[in-house]
């Protein structure tokens, strides 16, 4: 079974300061891990993905995440927040398997960016 825990339901940062969104996962197999972003009243957009190889993954808009198997973590970071980063972020895990790409979502972290 797979599960995801996003450790913060809300994060508030000032514009220009670093952003850290924490995610821990549980997986029986070698997982794929994703971060998606959802702006208000919009669909979900892929920020970045980890599927194998490099453990430090770079995504769009300056975001990156590091896969740490020993800590079962996949935290999302950005060096300098921008007002447009205000959104909800979802950490997602999917096990390898013949049953297809079942995705398990974390509860989400809502990011507020203060000017």
- Count of residues binding other proteins (CB under 8 A)? 31
Beta bridge partners of 91: 35
Interface residue with other proteins, options 8, 44, 62, 86 (CB under 8 A):
44
Q: Is 39 in the site for other proteins (CB under 8 A)?
A: no
Interface residue with other proteins, options 28, 84, 97, 114 (CB under 8 A):
97
Interface residue with other proteins, options 7, 77, 86, 108 (CB under 8 A):
108
Tokens read off for 19: 């952003």
Rounded to 5 degrees, φ, ψ at 96 are -70, 145
Q: Is 16 in the site for other proteins (CB under 8 A)?
A: no
- Bridge-based pairing of strands 109-114 and 10-14 is parallel
Residue with tokens 């020993």: 70
């Amino acid at each position: 079974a797979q599960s995801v825990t996003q450790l913060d339901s809300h994060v508030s940062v000032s514009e220009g300061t670093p952003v850290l969104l924490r995610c821990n996962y549980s997986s029986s197999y070698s997982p794929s891990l994703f971060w998606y972003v959802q702006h208000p009243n919009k669909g979900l957009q892929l920020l970045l993905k980890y599927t194998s190889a490099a453990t430090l993954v770079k995504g769009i808009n300056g975001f990156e995440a590091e896969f740490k198997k020993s800590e079962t973590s996949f935290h999302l970071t950005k060096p300098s927040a921008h007002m447009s980063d205000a959104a909800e972020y979802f950490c997602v895990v999917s096990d390898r398997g013949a049953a297809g790409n079942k995705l398990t979502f974390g509860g989400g972290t809502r990011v507020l960016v203060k000017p």
